[in-house]
Structures are given as structure tokens and as C-alpha cells.
Structure 1
Amino acid sequence: MNLNQLYYFNELVKQHQFSSAAKRLHIFQPSLSNSIKTLEKELNCNLIERRNGRVELTKYGQIFLESADSIILTLENAKHNINHTKQIENNTIEIGCIPTARENFLPHITSVFEKENSSTFHYIYHNGISNQICLEVQNGNFDLGICSKIDTYSDLNFIPLYVENTFFTASKLASKLDLPQSTRTIYLVYSTKHELSQPAQKLIDFITN
């Protein structure tokens, strides 16, 4: 018994005619007939009978149909789940980012990015400090990073994105001192040593162009 026999039997039951079922299955009618005969021989019972030019199920055929439908449904669900998982994986972008970038920059940029591409992407965010992010990008664990520039990672590409304000927040000193506001430049970082996925490359192109 093989899967084709299950699909053939299922379609024959739906169409009630060998000619119609064979046409729907894109096979020759003798091939369909031989497949059903082989199935009946293997099960040692008649699954169908002909009545007034129509194919009808026997009681054994009805029992077999329930199992065949269940198997086909399980297979179709498995195919759907696999394809769905592949789609997510193919549209997944892993981003290492400092917390402020995730809160303030990335939600806006990814929203506009998806609208322009008419696609939905799956983002996996990894919060971290800049040095850790650069290391993971260098090792190919993140597709890209949003962080400060670390000069020791000379093999990474750093593209300036925006400047953010930083504040000294130590509570005791902050209440006593008039501390100056400082700024830091936030960069997009990625590696050319590792092949980027198509969605990641699209996002980088979108951000930098």
C-alpha cells in the first residue's frame, strides 16, 4: 500500500466515476483501475461496487475511507506545518540590538519596511551590549546589529544611523550636580563574511538607502 493509492481511492469516492477521477488525478483510467484492484487484493475485500454507472462504497470501503481520510488529513496538515515553518524561517531576521534601539528605532523602521515590501517578516530580537552584539554578528549568529561602534571589530561594516542622547542617571549625583547631556552615534552593523538571508539583505538595503 502506498500514498498514491490512498489519494486515488479518495478521489474515486468523490467523483463516483473512474473516468472523472482519472481526469482529476491526471492519470489514465486503466492505471486508476489497477491501483484500486491492487488495494482491494492487499486488503482482501471489495472496497467499491458499480451501480448504474456509478461507483459506490461497500461497507468495507466505508471503513477504509474513514482511515484514508484521516491519513490524508494528517499528511496535509504536516505539509502545511512544514511549509509554514519554512516560510517563517525564510522570512526570519535575527537582530542584536541595544535596548533603546529596540524600543525607539526598530518598531518604526520594521513597520515601514514591511509596508514597502508588502510582506510580513519574523523578527528575533536579542538585547545586549554593543561588544556582545558585534561579536555575535561577527560569528554569524545575528544577521545584523544596532549598537555603538566597536573599533576592534575591523572586519564588520558599521553604518551610522542616528544620534541618541544619553544621561547620567546615578540618583544621588544627579540630584546634586548639573551634569551635561552627552550623545552617542548608533550604527547598523553587519558582516560580509557570512551570506545574508534575502530578508536581512533587504532590510539592510532599506535602512541604508
Structure 2
Amino acid sequence: MNLQHLEYFKVIAETKNFTTASNILSVTQPALSKAISKLEEELEVSLFEREGRNIKITKFGEAFLKYADSALIEIQRGKEKIQNMKKNNENVLSIASTDCIGVTFIPFIISNFFNDNLQVRFNINNQSTEEIFKDLKYGRIDFGFFDDIEILKYYSKIECVLVKKVEYVLIVPKNHHLANKEEIYLKDLKDEYFISYKDKYCDQRISYSDLIGYTPKVLAEPSEGALLSGLVAAGAGIAIVLNTPTINTNKISVIKIKDDIGFKNIYMGWNKGEYTSRIKNAFKDYVVNISK
């Protein structure tokens, strides 16, 4: 069995006609028939059966086609990986993160690393945690950043490290009656209007009801972090957010929360079986070191 036999088999299965397949593949019909015969001899089953002038794939052929497709896809991915490596791609880092981490954490970690590595180039995407793990598994990205490691047990080739624990804080507009407070209990916010961050990629959303113990008055649910901060700054409401440098303290007051509501854990993951370059190792070491 070889790669060419699998390619012939796939095209014949799709066209259900040897003549059409031979035209597509630029191969003679006798050569196609011989290749399929060899494949059937090795598998010890019939992959096709005659149906008038056309052919019909057998149940054995249907079962084998799924694996042939997967094999051809993986070979193509391997070819693309080699081509990317050959195209002087050594200094390109591909990163994916959940949206909330992408907004609050990634810009700072990238900018700090870039200051000491001016030759590096970043490809950055925001995705769900499940999509990040899949892309790490198939080598489509170099590093992923996420806050949920529940599915890590299903990906034996992916290694991850806890990078940062970020606390939650309350943000209010500068003219708010709580703006001058340094700390506050959540029970004291019962009469306030909240702005809630609604993000499909944020795996661990803040549930105000769970945190406060009652259903608060939610005025708006923006899907962008910048819009949430803008609404708070404009006086539309208050919000519980991650305590990061992205908060504009010129327009917003940051208040610590006395209640123990935990942290957001930020993890970095990578595929330990993937090819690694000097710049990738440097980035991984840099992120791991800042977590210590």
C-alpha cells in the first residue's frame, strides 16, 4: 500500500467511474484497475463492485475511505508544515487565546517579549478553549492561552503551565458614590446597576448571581471589553472585571472586593511533540519564568 494507491482509491470512490477518475488523475484505466486490485489484495476485501457502466463502493470500501481520507489529510498537513518551515518561518509565533485573555493579558506579554526580540512576528487569534486544544494537537498554532484545563485529560500530547492568577475587582465611574472607597463587600451593591461582559469565548464567565447571592440589575451585556469599560466610564453602571493594566484609571475607579471570590487562572499550553525553534523556546521560557 502506498500514498498513490490511496489517492486513486479516493478519487474513484468520489466519481464512481474509472473513466472519469482516470481523466482527473491523468492515469490510464488499466493502471487504475491494477492499483485498486493491489489494494484489495492487501486488504483481502473488495472495495468496489460493478453497477452497470458505473461502480459502487462496498461496505468495506466505505469503512476504509474514512481512514484513507484521514491519512491523506495528515500527509498534506505534514507537507504544509515542512513548506512553512522552509519559508523562513522560524521567527513567526502563532498564538491563540480565549477572548477575555486576549484582551486583558496577551498584549502585555507580547509587547514585553517583543522588546527583547525585535525579529519575532506574531499571528494571533481569539478562539474557544476547545478550538485552541484542537489547533495545538494538529500543530496549527504554537501556543494557546486559556483558563479552563478540564479537557486537558483528552489531549495527552499537550503540556501546560499556570502562568498567572488574576484577581477580580469592582470598577465604577469616577463620579460614583463608591469611587473613593478602597474596598467593598458585594452585599453592599444590591441597589447598583451592573454592566455584564458577554463573551462566547470566555470559558469562565462571571456570574453576578452566584457571586453576590441575588440577581442584580443588569443594564447591558456588551460583547467587547472596551465597550464595557466605556459604559462604566460614562456612568451607565458598575462591573466586576479582571484587575489588569487595561483599566483606564483616569476615568474609572478600581475597588478591591473583600469577599473571597477566587481568581482567574491563566494557562499556557503547547504540543510537546511539535517541532520547536529557538524563538519558540525563548518565548516559552519567557512566559514560564514570569509565572514563577
Return the TM-score normalized by structure 2.
0.37
Q: Relative contact order (alpha carbons < 8 A, sep ≥ 6): 1 or 2 greater?
A: 2
Determine which structure has more spread, i.e. the larger CA radius of gyration: 1
Q: Which has the higher helix share?
A: 1
Return the TM-score normalized by structure 1.
0.50
